[in-house]
A and B are shown apart, each in its own frame.
Chain A
């Protein structure tokens, strides 16, 4: 079964088409890069797929659930992480995990065993009882990702998850993403870093609300006869009429 299916998905604000009839499928377990300049409509499209707003026209299902009628079910089956990491600084590491686990309705016993597992795989046993405020940024980011997939969602949405993090940590972070994908979680990720785009199975590039290109990084480079994703992105985004907001 496909993780995400979009057909002619459109979101219009007055005369302005933020998302202009986009269509694409995402396979289960795939790492799907969702690229586009600021203002291209990525966030709007992602909000619809996360069940935060309704499309104006078109169809879409996420984890098999309809974005018009089954928002609640979508929300139960997805995880979400943004560049702000969204952990509570004055809660300890374990309390953060407990809170998000609780919000997603994970049972108390499961929370206990899984958080123990999680803390040991991250190698954060000593920090488990400490406030998150004192953690280095890279660890916060890894923790935030672990929290986003703590309830074992089918799809995880990552909105520019590596903003402001150094390259080494970013690399480690992508290792975690690969692990999650290997475990069968579909990863839908937006990013500004073209080296990260290369890590994706497939990427789509949005320009002015439309998906202008969609393929594996290798074939896209071939198509635009260049050897860097930067160049691909630049050639596509150059034609954009909307200014970045």
Chain B
């Protein structure tokens, strides 16, 4: 595992575990990794997000046993007891492994919806590209568990929760869950994915891969709330294959972790398919939050939409990389991409790269980006009506972010995000006041 591409980072943090890999698929992924190493800043896709935080540690496998009380407390912090979210069918993973005791029973799933554990029958699928994406290769080599969910033809499955909790382990750990969601023709589902961690534990690295396949006319709304512990590293990769007339709508809200990346590879494979890759990030301290997407139009008459909003305080940094690739056959493509950032501190930073790669002539594609501070005139308007400075700022920030979460169509999911956002804003404002 020592042969590294010149731009690669050493695999030392994972070396011990990679050497124990034997399956064909895992071995080939480990081989890919050995060739490239972990991506360094010279790799274009990782130009703005540096993985040096991974070096300097040796990531062990997480403990199998966990403290149930601690688990319930962390769970309650994201799904308050007695809330509507508590009644939804849910699958809970603790440190990368399914925890049946915290999850709903299979019987509670709606008709036509079924799930199984990745551990019981590992299926890596064919959607991912470990040769190109080193973190996916790492996941492939080390994935131990995850959710495999399927929805039968025509079934409107409603909401399903996928919760990933990180609890105190005896050391620095990493887990690499592998999830798969398959929607049969005309099926629909809202997948609410929550990642949460227990603050005050040692650093951990959560590296999930989710593959989604949508058959003709299917509709998947994927809403993600990322609220990992403050020192965590969260690097998630999502692949979505979208057939004709199907829609994949996603929204990711980044609040937690020290270093986060949400990377989406969406492929519009059939005519009249649609994809929405939206998101919002509220970052403070020295957090780095990265939303990266590659949307490939491989069929005519498809629509892609992307709106990402960032609010940055302290020394935080947001990264947005959005690529829309329109292949020659994808005539009549309609693509739109918007990235906006509010910088609330003189030391915050935003790096954006909205990219269009277009090979078809009859298309309508546009992107826009704006970066700036809060509008003084808006602040003045509020203050002239007697609203205090801090509160006025909070109102404007909240309005800015809620305009983004408004894009979430599923009301239950939207309520969850808005609640988490309000809490986070409140914490941040109180922190700011305490600091001043």
Say whether A associates with B: no
Interface residues of B (CB under 8 A from A): none
Interface residues of A (CB under 8 A from B): none
